[in-house]
Amino acid sequence: MDVKIDPSWKNRLHDEFTKPYFEHLIGFVKKEYSEGRVYPPGKQIFNAFDRCTFENCKVVIIGQDPYHGPGQANGLCFSVNDGIPKPPSLLNIFKEIQDDLGKPIPVSGNLERWADQGVLLLNATLTVRAGQAGSHQGKGWETFTDAVIEKISDEKKGVVFMLWGRYAQEKGRVIHAENHLVLTSKHPSPMAAASGGWFGNKHFSKTNDYLIKRGLTPIEW
Protein backbone atom coordinates (compact mmCIF):
# COMPACT_ATOMS: atom_id res chain seq x y z
CA MET A 1 0.00 0.00 0.00
CA ASP A 2 1.38 3.41 -1.00
CA VAL A 3 1.13 5.64 2.06
CA LYS A 4 2.07 9.30 1.62
CA ILE A 5 4.37 9.85 4.57
CA ASP A 6 7.92 11.15 4.95
CA PRO A 7 10.39 8.63 3.44
CA SER A 8 12.36 8.28 6.68
CA TRP A 9 9.25 6.83 8.32
CA LYS A 10 7.93 5.06 5.24
CA ASN A 11 11.06 2.93 4.98
CA ARG A 12 10.95 1.90 8.64
CA LEU A 13 7.20 1.29 8.83
CA HIS A 14 6.90 -0.52 5.53
CA ASP A 15 5.93 -3.79 7.21
CA GLU A 16 3.05 -2.11 9.07
CA PHE A 17 1.63 -0.75 5.83
CA THR A 18 1.36 -4.26 4.39
CA LYS A 19 -0.45 -5.83 7.35
CA PRO A 20 -4.17 -6.67 7.08
CA TYR A 21 -5.15 -4.39 10.00
CA PHE A 22 -3.65 -1.37 8.22
CA GLU A 23 -5.45 -2.14 4.97
CA HIS A 24 -8.75 -2.36 6.90
CA LEU A 25 -7.91 0.88 8.70
CA ILE A 26 -7.23 2.80 5.50
CA GLY A 27 -10.43 1.46 3.99
CA PHE A 28 -12.37 2.69 7.01
CA VAL A 29 -10.68 6.12 6.97
CA LYS A 30 -11.26 6.64 3.25
CA LYS A 31 -14.94 5.78 3.69
CA GLU A 32 -15.26 8.22 6.60
CA TYR A 33 -13.71 11.08 4.62
CA SER A 34 -15.95 10.35 1.65
CA GLU A 35 -19.16 10.28 3.68
CA GLY A 36 -18.73 13.16 6.15
CA ARG A 37 -16.45 15.70 7.79
CA VAL A 38 -13.34 14.23 9.36
CA TYR A 39 -10.35 15.92 10.99
CA PRO A 40 -7.58 16.73 10.34
CA PRO A 41 -7.71 17.50 6.58
CA GLY A 42 -6.65 14.41 4.66
CA LYS A 43 -3.29 15.86 3.62
CA GLN A 44 -2.39 16.42 7.29
CA ILE A 45 -3.12 12.93 8.67
CA PHE A 46 0.62 12.19 8.78
CA ASN A 47 1.70 15.78 9.46
CA ALA A 48 3.49 14.80 12.69
CA PHE A 49 5.78 12.51 10.69
CA ASP A 50 6.27 14.92 7.81
CA ARG A 51 7.32 17.76 10.13
CA CYS A 52 9.57 15.57 12.29
CA THR A 53 11.64 12.98 10.45
CA PHE A 54 12.83 9.80 12.13
CA GLU A 55 16.43 11.02 12.10
CA ASN A 56 15.52 14.37 13.69
CA CYS A 57 13.18 12.94 16.33
CA LYS A 58 14.53 13.64 19.82
CA VAL A 59 11.32 14.20 21.82
CA VAL A 60 7.98 12.36 21.66
CA ILE A 61 4.76 13.73 23.15
CA ILE A 62 1.77 11.39 23.06
CA GLY A 63 -1.83 12.57 22.79
CA GLN A 64 -5.07 10.63 22.38
CA ASP A 65 -6.95 11.76 19.27
CA PRO A 66 -7.29 14.93 17.17
CA TYR A 67 -9.45 17.89 18.14
CA HIS A 68 -12.90 17.42 16.62
CA GLY A 69 -13.96 21.06 16.24
CA PRO A 70 -13.87 23.13 13.02
CA GLY A 71 -10.42 24.32 12.00
CA GLN A 72 -8.63 23.02 15.08
CA ALA A 73 -6.71 19.86 14.18
CA ASN A 74 -3.55 20.04 12.08
CA GLY A 75 -2.17 16.54 12.58
CA LEU A 76 -0.06 17.34 15.66
CA CYS A 77 -1.22 16.39 19.15
CA PHE A 78 -2.30 19.31 21.37
CA SER A 79 -1.67 21.75 18.46
CA VAL A 80 -4.24 24.01 16.79
CA ASN A 81 -4.02 26.11 13.66
CA ASP A 82 -3.07 29.78 13.77
CA GLY A 83 -5.98 32.01 14.78
CA ILE A 84 -7.82 29.24 16.66
CA PRO A 85 -8.39 29.76 20.42
CA LYS A 86 -6.13 27.60 22.57
CA PRO A 87 -7.96 24.59 24.07
CA PRO A 88 -7.69 24.28 27.88
CA SER A 89 -5.06 21.51 27.86
CA LEU A 90 -2.82 23.47 25.51
CA LEU A 91 -3.20 26.60 27.61
CA ASN A 92 -2.10 24.61 30.68
CA ILE A 93 0.92 23.35 28.73
CA PHE A 94 1.91 26.93 27.95
CA LYS A 95 1.35 27.96 31.58
CA GLU A 96 3.73 25.23 32.75
CA ILE A 97 6.33 26.36 30.20
CA GLN A 98 5.92 29.90 31.49
CA ASP A 99 6.45 28.77 35.09
CA ASP A 100 9.26 26.37 34.19
CA LEU A 101 11.26 28.45 31.71
CA GLY A 102 9.94 31.98 32.11
CA LYS A 103 8.65 32.12 28.55
CA PRO A 104 5.53 34.17 27.80
CA ILE A 105 2.44 32.36 26.53
CA PRO A 106 2.56 32.59 22.72
CA VAL A 107 -0.16 34.18 20.63
CA SER A 108 -0.63 31.05 18.50
CA GLY A 109 -1.30 27.50 19.63
CA ASN A 110 0.26 26.09 16.47
CA LEU A 111 3.03 23.68 17.54
CA GLU A 112 4.53 23.11 14.10
CA ARG A 113 7.58 25.04 15.32
CA TRP A 114 8.13 22.32 17.94
CA ALA A 115 7.78 19.57 15.35
CA ASP A 116 10.31 21.26 13.09
CA GLN A 117 12.84 21.10 15.95
CA GLY A 118 12.49 17.33 16.40
CA VAL A 119 9.41 16.93 18.60
CA LEU A 120 7.11 14.15 17.38
CA LEU A 121 3.61 15.26 18.41
CA LEU A 122 1.92 11.89 18.11
CA ASN A 123 -1.77 11.24 18.64
CA ALA A 124 -2.61 7.60 19.33
CA THR A 125 -5.48 7.93 16.85
CA LEU A 126 -4.73 10.07 13.79
CA THR A 127 -8.26 10.88 12.61
CA VAL A 128 -11.65 11.71 14.14
CA ARG A 129 -15.20 12.38 12.95
CA ALA A 130 -16.30 16.00 13.32
CA GLY A 131 -17.93 16.65 16.68
CA GLN A 132 -17.45 13.06 17.89
CA ALA A 133 -14.46 12.64 20.18
CA GLY A 134 -12.96 9.16 20.06
CA SER A 135 -15.02 8.14 17.04
CA HIS A 136 -12.04 6.57 15.23
CA GLN A 137 -10.63 4.75 18.23
CA GLY A 138 -10.38 0.98 18.05
CA LYS A 139 -10.10 0.92 14.25
CA GLY A 140 -6.37 0.19 14.03
CA TRP A 141 -4.65 3.51 14.55
CA GLU A 142 -3.55 2.50 18.05
CA THR A 143 -1.80 -0.59 16.68
CA PHE A 144 0.01 1.57 14.14
CA THR A 145 1.12 4.20 16.66
CA ASP A 146 2.25 1.50 19.10
CA ALA A 147 4.51 0.27 16.29
CA VAL A 148 5.82 3.81 15.78
CA ILE A 149 6.71 4.19 19.46
CA GLU A 150 8.35 0.76 19.53
CA LYS A 151 10.37 1.56 16.40
CA ILE A 152 11.70 4.78 17.96
CA SER A 153 12.49 2.99 21.21
CA ASP A 154 14.27 0.11 19.48
CA GLU A 155 16.26 1.99 16.85
CA LYS A 156 17.17 5.25 18.60
CA LYS A 157 18.77 6.11 21.93
CA GLY A 158 18.40 9.14 24.16
CA VAL A 159 14.91 10.16 23.08
CA VAL A 160 12.76 12.03 25.62
CA PHE A 161 9.25 10.60 25.95
CA MET A 162 6.68 12.84 27.66
CA LEU A 163 3.81 10.70 28.91
CA TRP A 164 1.02 12.83 30.31
CA GLY A 165 -1.85 10.98 31.96
CA ARG A 166 -2.73 7.31 32.28
CA TYR A 167 -3.55 6.79 28.63
CA ALA A 168 -0.16 8.02 27.39
CA GLN A 169 1.62 6.08 30.12
CA GLU A 170 -0.10 2.86 29.04
CA LYS A 171 0.89 3.69 25.48
CA GLY A 172 4.50 3.96 26.62
CA ARG A 173 4.70 0.39 27.88
CA VAL A 174 6.78 -0.62 24.82
CA ILE A 175 9.53 1.93 25.56
CA HIS A 176 12.90 0.62 26.72
CA ALA A 177 13.27 3.11 29.55
CA GLU A 178 16.91 2.25 30.16
CA ASN A 179 17.83 3.73 26.76
CA HIS A 180 15.72 6.90 26.94
CA LEU A 181 14.40 9.58 29.28
CA VAL A 182 10.78 8.86 30.16
CA LEU A 183 8.94 11.70 31.91
CA THR A 184 5.49 11.07 33.38
CA SER A 185 2.92 13.33 35.03
CA LYS A 186 -0.79 14.00 35.22
CA HIS A 187 -2.50 15.12 32.02
CA PRO A 188 -2.65 18.90 31.39
CA SER A 189 -6.44 18.89 31.05
CA PRO A 190 -8.11 21.20 33.59
CA MET A 191 -9.73 18.37 35.56
CA ALA A 192 -6.50 16.38 35.90
CA ALA A 193 -4.29 19.41 36.45
CA ALA A 194 -6.58 20.70 39.20
CA SER A 195 -5.90 17.59 41.27
CA GLY A 196 -2.14 18.25 41.25
CA GLY A 197 0.68 16.58 39.38
CA TRP A 198 0.73 18.64 36.21
CA PHE A 199 1.88 22.09 37.24
CA GLY A 200 5.44 22.01 38.49
CA ASN A 201 6.45 18.85 36.61
CA LYS A 202 9.22 20.86 34.87
CA HIS A 203 9.21 18.49 31.93
CA PHE A 204 10.37 21.18 29.53
CA SER A 205 13.50 22.20 31.44
CA LYS A 206 14.25 18.54 32.24
CA THR A 207 14.03 17.72 28.54
CA ASN A 208 16.37 20.50 27.54
CA ASP A 209 18.87 19.65 30.28
CA TYR A 210 18.94 16.06 29.04
CA LEU A 211 19.37 17.06 25.40
CA ILE A 212 22.20 19.46 26.26
CA LYS A 213 24.00 16.73 28.24
CA ARG A 214 23.81 14.55 25.14
CA GLY A 215 25.31 17.30 23.00
CA LEU A 216 22.02 18.08 21.25
CA THR A 217 20.33 21.41 20.62
CA PRO A 218 17.61 22.12 23.21
CA ILE A 219 14.04 22.76 22.12
CA GLU A 220 12.90 26.37 21.84
CA TRP A 221 9.59 25.82 23.61
| Residues annotated catalytic, as ranges | 65
CA 140 – CA 166 distance, rounded (Å): 20
- Terminus-to-terminus CA distance in the chain, angstroms? 36
Q: DSSP per residue over the chain, as a string?
A: ----S-HHHHHHSHHHHTSHHHHHHHHHHHHHHHHS-EES-GGGTTHHHHHS-TTT--EEEEESS---STTT--SSTT---TTSPPPHHHHHHHHHHHHHH-PPPPS----HHHHTTTEEEEESS--EETTBTTTTTTSSHHHHHHHHHHHHHHH-SS-EEEEEHHHHHHHGGGS-GGGSEEEEE--SSHHHHHTSSSTT--HHHHHHHHHHHTT-PPP--
Residue 85 phi, psi (nearest 5): -55, 145
